[in-house]
Structure 1
Amino acid sequence: MKINLDIIAEELSAFSPRRAGRKKSDTTAPNLQGVGLYHSQSSLSPEICYAVDADSISDSFSCPFGITLAVVGNTAGLLPDTADADILILDRGDAQCTFSDMFNALNSVFLKYQAIDTRLSSAVMKNAPLQEILKIGEALFGNPLILFDKNYCILGEADSRLEKLELVCDKWSDSKMLSIDTVNAIKTSPEYRRASESSDICFVSEEYFAYNTLFAPVEGSGSPLTLAVMETNCPLTRVQRQLALYFSGILRLALGRNHLSSGHSLRFEDFLKELLYDTQIEQAVIDRYLLAMNWKNGDNYLLVTFQTNRFDKINSIYNNICGNIEKQIPESFAFYFEDNLLTVINLDQARLTKTDAVHMLSIFLREGLFHAGISYIFFDFSTFSSYYKQTLGALEMGEKYSPHEWCYDFEDYVLHYFMHYGTSRIDGRHLCHPGVVQLYIYDSKNKTNLLETLRAYLDCGGNAVLTAQKLYIHRNTLYQRLKKINGIIHTNLDNANVRLFIMMSYTFVDLLGLTPVES
């Protein structure tokens, strides 16, 4: 971790530090990583803060160009404020300390920040819990920290002693969050309005919030996160703003490795896993979680399950794969469940067909590493677990009957699956041919009767004359309906297996007393 003279001056404030040399605006970037003794004949590095005793500076002292000096003692104006160097003058004052003591004090500042940086780097590398990283950050700032999501729900906090903080419980997720009044007070503050235009750090005073607080955006995430540093122990200075920039970068790395960034919410992942465990969740709660992803329950989705033959159980590798998939496929969400990698794709939001989505994922299906099972297209997350079972069924049947292929669509293997398990594992309505479901939805919306037209046509063995007579319609009307049906279901009705599958779907609906779509 590199620091600058602003940080050193604040840490050594007991020695009445005074800045000289270049303007502060030119030297706010962190550029120093250690302290050394100044020798005029030695080669000087811009990354070292050189300590020099004021007693050794005379009228003939020529300030080196572009370096950083920490002058210990009173220079009596021998160093001009216009010198092209970054200079910090440390007046020993009444303190009975030697130059060596001051040098050690300087060195201790670097050691402090290097130790914190080492702890943070180690925590990120071992995928430490967010709570642990925020606890280390608390030592960095000397103040409590909270990480909020875009709705100001608390994702993590390092200190629970913030008595003045007004929190409420989000009834949908049981998470603690700021009250609506508090959020409105923050967003109406002048500093927040100014900072929000440039995604900058903003300072909100106690007039608008329970504590003087720095709000720092954690950039690089599709779903915006905000770090809050609250003034309870140490004053929030410009240095704390600089540290907030550094720490938000650490959080970005940590959240990336823990798969929280890039729009990937652990809460949404936990929500999907609850659905996979067949936990009953109210529709309003489902809608709330989907809204956080800017998704709708009525959008068309596809679920793909990747099954690996060789597993390296290092979380960072898992997360890299998930991150790559989400970058490759717009409007997708990838996560691990029961040693499988699952990817949900919002086809409507991504403006993709099922074929397009599978083609884009094919680069991850390398020979000997991944096999994939693909579900039907679905639109209701309350039935999410059935479509996961479809992907597992596709993998099982595909590997049994087509072991040399790598991608198995449940639609191609549903007959095989039914012959093995019937409807004992998957609800009969979720074994229906997708075309039957699409026709049912179309009829419901448009008050048509295409579903029964198709059934009559198949019952008559594809004979248009007999079908028209059975339905009491003209043959041209039948041909118009069949053309409409083909445009909806995109299925080859000349294929005997397709016809059998569709007729079985009608049988599922009749015998089990179901509809193709759950009401």
Structure 2
Amino acid sequence: MKKKVFQPGFRLNLRIIADALDQYGKKIEYYGSGDSQILTGVRLYALGIMLKPEYVYFISAGDLVSRAQMFRGIPMVVSGKVNPDVLPENTPAIVVLDTNNPLEIFSMVQDVFDRLRRWDIRLQASLSQRRPLQEILDASRDIFNNPLFIHNKEFVILAETGYRAGMAQRDRDKRTGQTMVALSTINDFKTDIVYQNGLREKRADMFPSEQTGYRILFRNLWNEDIYLGRILVNEIDSSIIPGDYLALDYLGDLLEYYLQGGLLEQFSIDNDTDHLLISMCNGEQVDERQIMDHLQFQRWNRTDRYICMRIVTEQKDFNLISSYAVLNQIEYQISTGHAFFHENGITVVVNLSYNHDKPADAVSRIAVLMREGLLKIGVSSEIRDFYQISKAYKMAKIALEFGRISSSMYWYYYFDDFMLDYMAECAGRDIPGDLLCSSALRKLREYDQKNNSELYETLLVYLEHERNVLRTANELFIHRSTLTYRLERIQKLIGVDLNKPEERLKLLVSYYIVEPKARRREQLAVSKKTGTEDQTSPSCQQKK
């Protein structure tokens, strides 16, 4: 991995000096053409000295008039009124109109360099402290003259200084005790186009005041192309000035450099429990003592009733905006569960025995959160052995996969509802589905194609409604006498006694094998129009 190029030592440009003189109450004119962030100090101009572009030179208006061309490309602070036409082309300059005490102006400029140099030294020292991020913000409070905070990509606030009433609300993470941005604020950001666009920025930028009531200067933090979080300056105590952009960019570059070098670890949130459960979900070998320690810590028993839930979203920016906040809210609503990040989603292991719950009870507790977050959830069947968590996790994944390709309008999918689909899919692993199913279905399809009839669908609906004539006729929008005629025709064509339970089961399972329930009705609708039917289905191997 290519390490980020970073040159320690904060360098100024004339814009920063102009901002400082303006704050001191001095009347100035700023000319920014050619202004670069390369300045390391200030020098008094004297005849015969060699001019260097990394210094800003203090010169009187009278001296400049006769030596203007010598200063081409050299930053300068001019004491006294000067005609702008005298200034060399592409040369940054500050003209100080208040000339009562030129040495005072020089001292002010020197103070700007000294103050920012001390800040830079303190930043470097902060990185070796026990709480480096907090030390960095404390050191930066007087530079920006506004409240600052740093949050990671999950909106956990890693450090903060200057927070007060009236600023954006905070929530407490019950898992870690850390402070985080309120979920209501995060949800507002999810629909804010300006915020979304700002997530791509590599340099300091401004977030408008519409959401929070005050502007926020922010700098995203990156490890190559991986978003890690943000540094933010709230415009509460004083107005953001142009030099603040440069200072915040330097602060961001400094943090990115040390993050890439592995010297800062506060941007990741995980714990031993998460690692244990991830390993178990993946079917990896886990030390039994670790499992028992976890159960004892949670006050769970190995033989309690458990389910596993897998939660995902279609939103591409979900992890950037609200993943940790959602995870935190899930644990708040399901107190007998543990939620953690896994395979680009959230996995939840829930103990149902603790509160004598049913799976639907756990799902209903997070219903509002799921709907508002446009999330979908797969729910496993119950297991009675904690050591079978990997099986429960697989069931949750299968339920989610089948549910998402179904025409269901619900956001939750239970494995029990798709169990037969999964069994039928696995049954076709060694023998193609069209060969494994009953030959009666092939006969009906061929007959329908030749005669433009609908016997294939009629039998399916009839079997799914457990031979209830009224419900079958209603779903097919036909008269009962028409249904009776069709059933007689079916019986004659396939020669199967539908009064025998095993024959009905064979036919119904054959439908599941030919086309899983999740897509069967869609394919039937297509087959009516095209006269063909897709007999393929995903292989069982793909689920592994």
RCO greater where, 1 or 2, for CA within 8 Å and sep 6 or more? 2
Whose Rg is larger? 2
The TM-score normalised by the length of structure 1 is 0.50
TM-score computed with the length of structure 2 as normaliser: 0.48
